[in-house]
Structure 1
Amino acid sequence: MIQIANRTISLATEPFVIAEMSGNHNNSLERALEIVDAAAETGAHALKIQTYTAETITIRSDRPEFRIEDEGSLWSGRTLFNLYEEACLPWDWHKAIFDRCAEHGMIGFSTPFDDTAVAHLESLNVPCYKIASFEIVDLPLIRLVARTGKPMIMSTGMADIGEIHQAVQTARSNGCGQIILLKCTSSYPAMPGDSNILTIPHLRELFETEVGISDHTMGTGVSVAAVALGATVIEKHFTLDRAAGGVDSKFSLEPDEFKRLVEDSAQAHASLGRIQYGQLANEKTSKLHRRSLYVVEDVEEGTIASSSNIRSIRPGNGLEPAYWDLIIGRKFAKDVKAGYPLSIDHFF
């Protein structure tokens, strides 16, 4: 069980659903605040931003290794500096965004990318931290965040088991006892077939943490399916309108879609229930639709039970059909009118 602000995260509670703003603010504080308002209206439990600058995450360079060459990428042809310069959210907006979250009763927090970001977020007293999938190998950053003593959410991305183990051990050995691991596919957008959400229960078993998903696929199906595998946290990119553009807009959910995600994930969680067999209280009236043994013509005491005077029909108020072989050929001990459910005391 994890506690983040007033929210308990466990298998016993509805999934904790995080709306990720990322670069969808489009360099407008007004739009950023509108995103907060819209996220709250969807029922999102938290809104997350990212804390970095282009200068703190890379350098200005046109060398090939600083350029995104993947033709399948949304950001193909751009330099890292150019991309992050557009996507970064000004640090002096953080307080206004977190304050707006608080007004809605929604948890606001961020992903830091270096020590200066952690210091800034600590000055704003964030309730938890998120480690991005690309930063899971940045053990000094994880160590610094762990020493705040606050819950830590980590996306696994491309990390292998050894790298995840190092990250978890670094966090634990530096004072972080509340860790959530998110299965994440580090492609944008990700294909459902690459999600491999069967990893989610394996992460829980291996590392004894809460687990969830950071989902970059289009739509909500993968996230909802993850709930059935024990995901207690769902993180999904959120935008007001994909058509408005933005570095992450193409794989972000719009408000009506995000609202459906919140509702469907809650329903998926409720449907898990427990291991159960037999009749539920709500199924009591459904007994009408079961078959049972009924007397279908008037019989007198001493009449032999046969297929002409007994049938297996609906409703299910008589003896179960399993008694058929036991009853056929026996004598009735009393007169019975047609339409009465058969019982064992009708026979000698």
Structure 2
Amino acid sequence: MASTFKINGRPVGPDHTPYIVAELSGNHNGDIKRALALIDAAKAAGADAVKIQTYRADTITIDHDGPEFLLTDGLWKGRKLFELYEEAHTPWDWHAELFTHASNQGITLFSAPFDPTAVELLERLNAPAYKIASPEIVDLDLIELCARTGKPLIISTGMASFEEIEEAVATARAAGAAEILVLHCTSGYPTPVDQANLSTITDLTKRLDVAIGLSDHTLDNIVAAAAVAVGAVLVEKHFTLSRADGGVDSAFSLEPAELAQLVKDLRSVHAAIGQPNYRPTAAELITLPMRRSLYVVADIAEGEELTRANVRSIRPSNGMLPRHLKSVLGKTATRALTRGEPLAADMVQGFTSQHDG
């Protein structure tokens, strides 16, 4: 199992509550005050971190009118790539203020860089971790550059083959990354529940010696909760102040109350997983006396035969275990027994203590 590591001092791993990341993405809607408010709201909801994206439209694509630069389907159908990224990007001159504000609020802020100049900016701001976005998993130069910083590296795997995931992880390790987390992801915006394929988390856990999490684009918290149940140690969800406010990612983003519920639900799921256990828990000790045992249910004279009419398996559990019923039937009482007495080995002629338990 992959070892636990820390992001900005917070342990991330199977023995710790899920690390919950609120993805701000383009939900600032071009307003730094809204971006700051989103950080505040994520902190209030209990998220561990806020993630932003560091790119400019001209570092992620080019301004071109060719058909391949026009989105023809999905949530952003009809949008030109350059115009979409121009709207969605987080201006670089906001970054220092966002990092300072998050630090003052006591919540971690990190980013997904999309080119070397973004990494340079984030290094100057001492970003505590880096994420490789799903489409960038094939950009091995970017992975190598982020890995060389020595910071924890989170690699998202939407659309990727296992071979591409393996290559990305190997590239990161070869460049010195010791703390790697792979996010299972379906890059559908939103993602239909029946395409979440959470069994991939279990498979990746077996096949890769790294921590595994989930980047979730479904419309509620059920998939995220199920992901934690099958081993996800980090969950990332897009986050907005209000879907009614619009924005490029608002349609598949959680509102503050929903994020707070996600935090509560994922902590509950993690707590419920626990450890394999075959002994009564503390909560069961109250109920333990209500197990069945053998009781005298009709008065029995000394020397009288024990039968199904005078000995039964009933609640509570103060008598002999029910498995001894056949062994005591037909034997005689060593003394007079009273209705309501729990049956004990010394009450049964010829029943030795070695048979009891």
Q: Same fold (TM over 0.5)?
A: yes
Partner of 1:337: 338
Distance 1:204 1:284 in 2: 36
Paired with 2:21 and 2:282, the residues of 1 have a C-alpha distance of: 35
- How far apart, CA to CA, are the structure 1 residues paired with 2:97 and 2:304? 87
**In structure 2, which of residues 20, 24, 28 is the aligned counterpart of residue 17 of structure 1?**
20
> Equivalent residue for 1:231?
232
Q: CA RMSD, aligned part only? A: 1.1
CA drift of 1:271 comes to 1.2
How far is the alpha carbon of 1:335 from its aligned partner? 1.9
**Gaps in structure 2 of 5+ consecutive residues:** 350-357
Between the two proteins, the alignment pairs up a number of residues equal to 346
The 10-residue stretch of structure 1 (76-85 or 281-290) with the greater mean CA deviation from structure 2: 281-290
The CA deviation at 1:223 is 0.7
Map of 1:180 onto structure 2 = 181
Q: Distance in 1 between matches of 2:319 and 2:44?
A: 52
Deviation at 1:281, TM superposition (A): 3.1
SS, match of residue 136 in structure 1: helix
Which residue of 27, 37, 41 corresponds with 2:40?
Answer: 37
User: 57, 62, 80: which is aligned to 1:59?
Assistant: 62
- 2:150 aligned with 1:149, yes or no? yes
Matched, 1:347 2:348: yes
Matched ranges for 1:106-255 at <5 A: 106-255=107-256
Distance in 2, matches of 1:327 and 1:116, equals 83
Alpha carbons 1:287, 1:317 under 8 Å: kept? no
> TM-score under structure 2 normalisation?
0.95
Residue by residue over 1:248-276, the C-alpha shift from the partner in whole angstroms, topping out at 9 and shown as x without a partner, is 01101111111111111111111111111
Structure 1 residue 289 displacement after superposition? 2.7
3-state SS, counterpart of residue 285 of structure 1: coil
Deviates more, 1:4-13 or 1:272-281: 272-281
- Which residue identity is paired with 2:307? S
Amino acid at match of 2:68: E
The residue aligned with 2:309 is 308
Distance 1:205 1:321 in 2: 43
Counterpart-to-counterpart distance in 1, 2:252 and 2:95: 23
CA shift for structure 1 position 188 = 0.3
TM-score by length of 1: 0.97
User: 1:229 & 1:199 partners in 2: Cα distance?
Assistant: 10
Question: 1:274 maps to which residue?
Answer: 275
Shift of 1:201: 2.1
Taking the TM superposition and a 5 Å limit, the aligned residue runs for 1:251-270 are: 251-270=252-271
- Whichever residue aligns with residue 34 of structure 1, its letter is A
Deviation digits for residues 291-312 of structure 1 (CA, Å, limit 9, x no counterpart):
2211112222112111221122
User: What secondary structure sits across from 1:169 in the alignment?
Assistant: helix
In the alignment, the residues of structure 2 paired with residue 334 and residue 104 of structure 1 have an alpha-carbon distance, to the nearest angstrom, of 75
Opposite residue 22 of structure 1, the aligned amino acid is S
Corresponding residue for 1:46?
A: 49
In structure 1, stretches of 5+ residues that fail to align are: none
